[in-house]
Amino acid sequence: MSLRSKRGHMFVTTIERLGLTEKESKLYLTSLRIGPSSMQVLARKAGIDRGTAYHVAQTLAGKGLFTQVEGGKRPTFRATNPQELFKYVKERKETADRQYDAMQEMIDDLEALYEIGATAAPQE
């Protein structure tokens, strides 16, 4: 599967909806498809600049979605198991649920403040 194909584009778009950027999605999906590889190969196959790919890999690693494989002369990298992506999305959902609950608790007070400000004389 080429990431430039229509199906590959659909995967990238879907992964983006899960909270990854386009470049994160491309690097992640490329790595899933080709397995452990040098950053040069991953970047080329994902269609992104190698320097950018290193930065993107760091960001993905911080999300638990990418890792460096030990061994060999050159460092190789790979995406983690897709279950880690599921875990990442689940954690984001739980955070969003907590934020939503907090907002529900505050909305009446925030609206009251808004009304006070809306009827106040302009400040100069």
- Are 53 and 73 a contacting pair, CB within 8 Å? no
Q: Which domain holds residue 3?
A: 1-80
| 39-46 and 50-62 helices, crossing angle to 10° | 100
State whether 60 and 15 are in the same domain: yes
Calpha distance 1→24 (Å, rounded)? 17
Pair (68, 90) in one structural domain: no
Confidence of residue 1 (pLDDT cuts 50, 70, 90): very low
Q: Are residues 12 and 27 in contact, defined by beta-carbon separation less than 8 angstroms? A: no
| Domain tally, the chain | 2
89 and 76 share one domain: no
pLDDT category of residue 118 using cuts at 50, 70 and 90: confident
Tokens of 108: 């009446």
Let me know whether 46 and 86 are in one domain: no
Tell me: the pLDDT tens digits for 42-62?
999 999 999 999 999 999 999
Quick one: 107 and 121 in the same domain? yes
